[in-house]
Amino acid sequence: MQLSVTDREGVQHDLQAADGEILMVLVRDRLDNTVGVCGGAISCGTCLIQFSPEEAARLPEASADEREMLEALDAKPGERLGCQLKTSPDLEGLAFTVAPEA
């Protein structure tokens, strides 16, 4: 599946992803961005990514743990943790932006 990712420098990348890939890992490994410092334990917020309202509506519901971390980060609407999102056929063509470092 194809995804469109805008990195922290504002450069857009079209990436191929396999079904079930974690967005945090995809960005960290393919774009060499410093994301996922905690390794996906929902404890750092460095994998925060931003979605347009239309793209955010395509995503699965956030877990209670993710919602708690998003609240602690004072996340804006449309922001989610990349460590908690996996690719799926429903997300073909998904576009998102890696949030600036806090």
Q: Are 79 and 49 in contact (CB under 8 A)?
A: yes
- Spell 62-99 as b/e; 16+ CB within 10 A means b: beeebeebbeeeebeebbbbbbbbbbbeebeebebbbb
Assign residue 55 the CATH number of its domain.
3.10.20.30
pLDDT digits (tens, 9 = 90+) for 56-71: 999 999 999 999 999 9
Question: Collapsing DSSP states into helix, strand and coil, what is residue 31?
Answer: helix
Give the number of domains in the chain.
Answer: 1
The range of the structural domain enclosing residue 93 comes to 2-98
Q: Which pLDDT does position 101 carry in this prediction?
A: 83
Spatial distance between the Cα atoms of 14 and 100, rounded to a whole number of angstroms? 19
Which pTM does this prediction carry?
Answer: 0.93
Model confidence over 9-43: pLDDT tens digits? 999 999 999 999 999 999 998 887 667 888 899 99
